[in-house]
Chain A
Amino acid sequence: MFCPACGAQNDPNAQNCSNCGQPMPQAQTPAPPQPPVAPPAPAPSAPPSPPAYSAAPSQYAQQQPYPAQAVPPMPPNYLWQSIVVTILCCWPLGIPAIVFATQVGAKYGRGDYQGAQNASKSAKMWMIIALVAGLVGSVLYIGLTVLGVLADMGSSF
């Protein structure tokens, strides 16, 4: 909110301008008549609007607790990523990801939406760890192979 006297920006709840000291108007809605001893009414803040339908995954967590009627969408379970990573290289890390992936749907089906959300996060974490471990391992392996290839070429000269 801006001070009508000097134009300085102020906190919306400010009683007086922090720059010039003039009293600040209380935000848009005219304040109802106050009893003289009442504490100053807080500036009316916008009622919490329902979370926008956005792509941010953190939105799911912020909607707790869910109203009885509103069924949230099932969180992602990363099942196929986990399966491929498990089969291609990284089963010690991929198996936990698959286990958590199965829990996402199971808990969601039971109505445990918070549990499904947590399982989704765990599945994502293990899947990403497995993916990164596989990539790092592949890069190391290829690097060592290249070194070996170069050594072979050197010995053939």
Chain B
Amino acid sequence: MTSRATTERPTDPWERWSSVAVLAIMATGLAVLVVPPLTRFAPPCLFHEATGFYCPGCGSGRAASALLRLDIVSALRMNALAVLLAPVATYALLAEALAPSKVDLPKLRLGPRATTVLALTIIAFWVLRNVNAWPFEWLAPG
């Protein structure tokens, strides 16, 4: 670890290690989708099993495997939000996970308005993908 001064604030160890943990979970999830003996562990969505409604993450597994086949259109049809957010989230988490090291990515910091818009977008996506009518069908997996 270097003693380079950070420009914004001292790095919170929780922020760093939770980013590492979440990245590890994402990597594990990808492995479960790709490595054949592990694919049987790919879990269904318990919320969808229980209620029949889609959760904000439903279809993200199928979207990820479509992306791995470079089939972007199918990926967007499975879970557009996850496909659009995944690169941004991966970058933001990487920047936080690497913060005090020599590889210093500029951190992605959203202002309060952008953060609120993002949170409302996720909730709106969740609600609208359960509306089975034009023009919202493409938000639901399938």
Residues of A within 8 A of B (CB): 53-57, 59, 72-81, 83-89, 91, 95, 98-99, 101-102, 105-106, 108-109, 124, 127-128, 131, 134-135, 137-138, 141-142, 145, 149
Selected from A55, A98, A142, the residue in CB contact (under 8 A) with B12 is A55
Asked if A91 and B93 sit within 8 Å, CB to CB, the answer is no
Residues of B within 8 A of A (CB): 8-15, 18-19, 21-22, 25-26, 29, 40-41, 43, 46-47, 55-57, 60, 81-82, 85, 88-89, 92-93, 96, 108-112, 115-116, 118-119, 122-123, 126
Asked if B47 and A83 sit within 8 Å, CB to CB, the answer is no
Asked if A91 and B55 sit within 8 Å, CB to CB, the answer is yes
Asked if B93 and A145 sit within 8 Å, CB to CB, the answer is no
Contacts of A109 in B (CB 8 A): 111-112
21 contacts between A and B (CB under 8 A): A55-B12, A57-B13, A73-B9, A79-B115, A80-B88, A81-B21, A83-B85, A83-B89, A84-B25, A87-B82, A88-B57, A91-B47, A91-B55, A101-B115, A102-B115, A102-B116, A124-B18, A128-B18, A131-B22, A137-B46, A149-B40
Selected from A85, A88, A131, A135, the residue in CB contact (under 8 A) with B60 is A88
CA distance A73 to B130 in the complex (A): 40
CA distance A56 to B57 in the complex (A): 34
Which residue among A79, A131, A134 has the maximum number of chain B CB atoms within 10 Å of its CB?
A79
Selected from B11, B56, B92, B93, the residue in CB contact (under 8 A) with A86 is B56
Asked if B10 and A84 sit within 8 Å, CB to CB, the answer is no
Classify the interface of chain A: helix, strand, loop or mixed: helix
Which residue among B10, B11, B19 has the maximum number of chain A CB atoms within 10 Å of its CB?
B10
Beyond A88-B29, A105-B110, whether A53 also contacts B10 by CB under 8 A is yes
Contacts of A108 in B (CB 8 A): 112
Selected from B11, B21, B55, B111, the residue in CB contact (under 8 A) with A131 is B21
Q: Which A residue's beta carbon lies closest to that of B61?
A: A88
Contacts of B21 in A (CB 8 A): 81, 131
Instruction: State how many angstroms separate the Cβ of A63 from the closest Cβ of chain B.
Output: 12
